[in-house]
Structure 1
Amino acid sequence: MTDPIVHSETPVTLVGAGDATPEDLQNSLTLAPTCVAADGGAALCLSARAEIAAVIGDFDSISAETLAQIPPERHFEITEQVSTDFEKALIRIAAPLVLGVGFLGGRIDHQLAVFHALSAFPERRCLLLGHEEVVCLAPPRIELPMQPGERVSLFPMAAVTGHSEGLHWPIEGLDFAPASRIGTSNRALGPVSLSFGSPDMLLILPRRLMPALVARLSPPDAARWPARAG
């Protein structure tokens, strides 16, 4: 078990060096006011004048000039090269929820690695902010305030089944898996209820739902997954 570096009773914003703007960061900080940088994401934090509680990573993509602007006691260099900077930071944040800014868009290999981390560490609840969408690992069950016609996309990271109410194409009885059945571009009929049998489904929703998702994913009594065995 990895010891946390950042402890927070409220959601935390984690910032990467990918495709994001200062406005994206400020939007996240209104919901998750503690700011943590994953390596080179510190540059966006400084440009947005956000106070950095910690910078975590292997420090191969952050400049000396950027590091010099952050107090040394907030530098946490993790030198191993097995995991990505996103993963290094995510597993060292103890908070009800992590909002990830700067991890969608940009390099596809980085984005895929982030999705892998969401699935590998289901106990570390995280919501990723993109330009038009938000992405998270679907919890055991969730109710969503969708509007008719809004897109609900489901992408399995492994074999998984689920139940839905309020979708144009119900998912009951379907066996999802990466190489067989996926759930791209389903549509809401109105409010949507989803439940899943294992922590293996990515949920991709309109960005406007970010505040609602934070409210549903953050509470201590919200349904959540345990850590994977081993």
Structure 2
Amino acid sequence: MEGTVLEHRDFFSRGSFALVILNNTLPKEAPILWELARVRVCADGGANRVYREMPSPAERLCLLDQITFFRFVPDHIVGDLDSIEPSIREIYASKGSEILDMSSDQDSTDLHKCVSFLRDSSRGDEVERIVVLGALGGRFDHELGNLNVLFAFPGLRICLASDENLVFLLRHGVLHEIRARVGAHCGLVPLGERSQSSTTTGLRWNLDSTAMAIGSLISTCNVVENEVVKVQSDVDLLWTMER
């Protein structure tokens, strides 16, 4: 059995991750993560969020557009391109952003398109993981679509991050060791299929070869008791953790 350490802070190590921005309210630390990321991708209307929400109050008051553009120019803008404002698209194109129109594909979300782009392009070879901002909160159908992307790309390390939560997928058949904040609320959910056997240590209410399924028992409202939580399951599990 292979052991995998998923230290949640290592998702944000400088230069090790691609940052994907969705068209939703961004967490307060978005500018910091932008600076730490190696590759920066906006999903369609996420470019509007970067343009309007990323500059600091001082930059907005002083209208230092050149500074703002220098700091917050996406490397790539990917998606249907039906949400990005034309003026913002023009500005970023003039500043060197690559704009990829994938409107011919109407069967996948903009996040799915962004992850596919990173997986299939040379940019994906530059990073170890993908951090997604704007994936949690807002419309619930959007949240479900974003969670579905985790299961659609199980071989990639993708983290959905908000001010309140981190969410990522734990692959089946692997002993996962997660370094977590003691006292944080957390959950383990088998969204994809029924688990016949899931086992944990380090939680207030541990699982011991426990069966779980949607519509039956799932592990929510749990609490981290040890700095290292260990999880092993026969199916892929969604791990959610309070920050």
Give the TM-score normalised by the residue count of structure 1: 0.79
Q: Which residue of 2 aligns with 1:86?
A: 111
Q: What's the CA shift for 1:121?
A: 1.4
Q: What's the CA shift for 1:35?
A: 1.1
Q: Distance in 1 between matches of 2:88 and 2:200?
A: 46
Q: Which residue of 1 aligns with 2:219?
A: 183
Would you say 1:74 and 2:98 are equivalent positions? yes
- Specify the code of the residue in structure 1 equivalent to 2:77: V
Q: Which residue of 2 aligns with 1:155?
A: 189
Aligned residues of 1:87 and 1:117 also touching (Cα < 8 A): yes
Aligned residues of 1:24 and 1:101 also touching (Cα < 8 A): no
- Specify the code of the residue in structure 1 equivalent to 2:50: C
Aligned residues of 1:37 and 1:56 also touching (Cα < 8 A): yes
Q: Distance in 2 between matches of 1:113 and 1:133?
A: 17
- Specify the code of the residue in structure 2 equivalent to 1:14: V
Q: Which residue of 2 aligns with 1:4?
A: none
Aligned residues of 2:194 and 2:213 also touching (Cα < 8 A): yes
Q: What's the CA shift for 1:85?
A: 0.4
Ranges of 4+ aligned residues in structure 1 off by more than 6 Å = none
Q: What's the CA shift for 1:31?
A: 4.0
Matches within 5 A, 1:1-230: 10-21=16-27, 23-47=28-52, 48=54, 49=68, 50-71=72-93, 74-79=98-103, 80-93=105-118, 94=124, 95-139=127-171, 140-157=174-191, 158-160=193-195, 161-191=197-227, 192-199=229-236, 201-207=237-243
Aligned residues of 1:166 and 1:189 also touching (Cα < 8 A): yes
Aligned residues of 1:118 and 1:136 also touching (Cα < 8 A): yes
SS of alignment partner, residue 198 of structure 1: coil
Q: What's the CA shift for 1:162?
A: 2.3
Q: Distance in 2 between matches of 1:43 and 1:195?
A: 40
> Which structure 1 residue ranges, 5 or more long, are not aligned?
1-8, 208-230
Aligned residues of 2:43 and 2:78 also touching (Cα < 8 A): yes
- Specify the code of the residue in structure 1 equivalent to 2:100: F
Q: What's the CA shift for 1:179?
A: 2.0
Q: Distance in 2 between matches of 1:28 and 1:176?
A: 35
Give the TM-score normalised by the residue count of structure 2: 0.75
Aligned residues of 1:151 and 1:187 also touching (Cα < 8 A): yes
CA RMSD, aligned part only? Answer: 1.9
Q: Deviations over 1:62-82 (max 9, x none)?
A: 111111012276010101110
Q: Distance in 2 between matches of 1:41 and 1:126?
A: 18
Q: Distance in 2 between matches of 1:183 and 1:65?
A: 46
Which protein is richer in helix relative to its size?
Answer: 2
Residues 27 and 154 (structure 1), Cα distance of their counterparts in 2 relative to 1, 3 Å cut: farther
Q: Distance in 2 between matches of 1:31 and 1:185?
A: 31
The range that moved more, 153-162 or 91-100, is 153-162
